[in-house]
Amino acid sequence: MNFSSYTNTALAAAKKGASILLKYYNNSILNVEYKGEIDPVTQADKNSQKAIIKIIKSVFPQHGILAEEDSVNEINKDYCWIIDPLDGTVNFVHGVPIFCVSIGLKYKNEIISGVIYSPIMNEIFIAEKNKGAWLNGKKIRVSKVKDIIHALAVTGFPYYIKKNSARVIKNFKNIMLKSQGIRRSGSAALDMAYVACGRFDFFWEEGLKPWDITAGTLIVKEAGGKVSDYNGGKNLIFKDTILVSNGSVIHKKVLRVINEKE
């Protein structure tokens, strides 16, 4: 597959960011700081981000940037790169190998390119608008599971969970009782990539940010899946809730469960 210069740039930047993450992984000099009570950031997040932005800016100096560890917000530019330089920081800090770099490109109101790179697994997920989704060069599709009871679900918990947990726990309980099982990986971007390639059948979470879900949204859609908020509304990337699934049949069923009062 020949990718656009946007995707090739995202790929080069993701590889560079990931190489920096690997240098810090399982290294004692992480300089962990806390943005919130349970929300860490490390030198690896910051240096990965710096390198990613440097590569993108060297090719597309006019484009905007929205990156997790940066106060600059250029989302209103036509082209804006939305970057999570390390998705799965809590895993990373604990030496759990589930983490990735996630880079998406928005043009006006559409996501046109997305790359998620999981360096320990050596897996690169790529999508381009209207051109499909790939894992390590092979085209990927979502699963075909149609019933919740046969579905393997995945979720995550927002950093505000200690203060506001009622809905999260209600949904977790109801889906646990109705599905085949639930996993919690600690990387929302990889959760979405795994729905895209059929490993998981659906993913839901609240409190995510654009950098967690931009690349994943395109990858899932291009793999034939569906993305919405908890009301079924179209999700660009600024909604507070997200449901990602293998398609409309299971999507509607999960939305019903998520909207149960208790």
Dist CA 65 CA 190 (whole Å): 22
End-to-end CA, the chain: 47
**Distances 178 to 149, 150, 212 between C-alpha atoms, Å:** 6, 9, 27
At closest approach, how far in Å is the CB of 97 from ligand IPD? 14
Sequence-separated (6 or more) residues with CB below 8 Å from residue 16: 51, 52, 55
Q: Quote the tokens at residue 12.
A: 């080069």
Residues in contact with ligand IPD, counted by CB under 6 A, come to a total of 14
Q: Judge residue 246's burial from the number of C-beta atoms within 10 Å of its C-beta, 0-12 exposed, 13-18 middle, 19 or more buried.
A: buried
At closest approach, how far in Å is the CB of 92 from ligand IPD? 8
- In terms of CB distance, is 52 or 135 closer to Ca ion? 52
Q: Which of 64, 132, 158, 232 binds ligand IPD (CB under 6 A)?
A: 158
Dist CA 202 CA 110 (whole Å): 22
- In terms of CB distance, is 41 or 223 closer to Ca ion? 41
Give φ, ψ of 164 to 5 degrees: -150, 90
Dist CA 238 CA 258 (whole Å): 19
- In terms of CB distance, is 69 or 128 closer to ligand IPD? 69
Part in contact with ligand IPD (CB under 6 A); list of ranges 23-31, 86-94, 112-120, 196-204: 86-94
Residue whose pair of structure tokens reads 């210069």 in the numeric block: 5
Q: Is 104 in the site for ligand IPD (CB under 6 A)?
A: no
Q: Quote the tokens at residue 88.
A: 């799965």
Part in contact with ligand IPD (CB under 6 A); list of ranges 57-65, 103-111, 165-173, 182-190: 182-190
Q: Is 69 in the site for ligand IPD (CB under 6 A)?
A: no
Q: Is 87 in the site for Ca ion (CB under 5 A)?
A: yes
- In terms of CB distance, is 151 or 208 closer to ligand IPD? 208
Q: Is 128 in the site for ligand IPD (CB under 6 A)?
A: no
Helix (H) or strand (E) holding 11: helix 5-24
Of residues 190-249, those binding ligand IPD (CB under 6 A): 205, 207-208, 212
Residues near ligand IPD (CB under 6 A) are 84, 87-89, 156-158, 186-188, 205, 207-208, 212
Residues near Ca ion (CB under 5 A) are 68, 84, 86-87, 212
